[in-house]
Structure 1
Amino acid sequence: MLHADDPERSKVQQRVHDSVAHLGEIMGQVPVHVIACARTGAATLPEGNQSAVWGSVLPAAWSYMLAARERGLGTAWTTLHLMYEREVADILGIPEDVHQGVLIPTAHYTGTTFKPAPRQSLDEVLHVNQW
């Protein structure tokens, strides 16, 4: 497991794992699934600079999630479906030159424990001029 050598971070990873497993179990009950896509004009993704492909799609997906939260909706960022991207595309009629970036299940939030996640200090994750 990621961060197995760090007890605090390992606990967080276990909660993430449990959350992912739960989402997998209830995914079919989620009323709305948003899939953010990029049209590349080709059946395969171009090699090299992927920021040109995803540079506007992924920030738009994140903005959608923030807007949903403001309206009392819960979302989750997942890419696990991409193992079956072609099958999903076939079911939904997504053209071959359109590539899925993220699946965002969306529903009314039913829990009572939603709160900001703990974050590492900025000094631990921001590097200026050198690592």
Structure 2
Amino acid sequence: MEYLVASAIGVMTAAGTYLVLRLRTFPVIVGISLLTYAVNVFLFSSGRLTIGYPPVLMDGAENYADPLPQALVLTAIVISFGMTAVAVVIALAAYLAGDDDRINGIRGRGPDTARNEQDGDGTAS
């Protein structure tokens, strides 16, 4: 079980890092979300992966699940949802203001280069 969770955390971290390094806003936002999910699973697994144990020590229970990582993950989920919404709104506003969703602001690098090199009347300069 621990190997599966550790592998999932590694895959989400690798995919999130790859997407954060892209030049478009949507993959960057998805990459940040994947990194957030990886951190949440890591925090959750830091409280030991237990199945069937009560969340609080009760009479007759020898083991219990640690409630602190669960509370931290719940808080992190709420915060990451809010920050993702803010990032999407900022990216949408930047796209609507500049008609481009590139992170670095450099135009004319990619498959739409021919379109950017034309004048307003459709002729190439």
Q: Give TM-score scaled by structure 1 length.
A: 0.25
Structure ranking higher on relative contact order (CA contacts 8 Å, 6+ apart): 1
Per the normalisation by structure 2, the TM-score is 0.26
Per residue, is there more strand in 1 or in 2?
1
Q: Which has the higher helix share?
A: 2
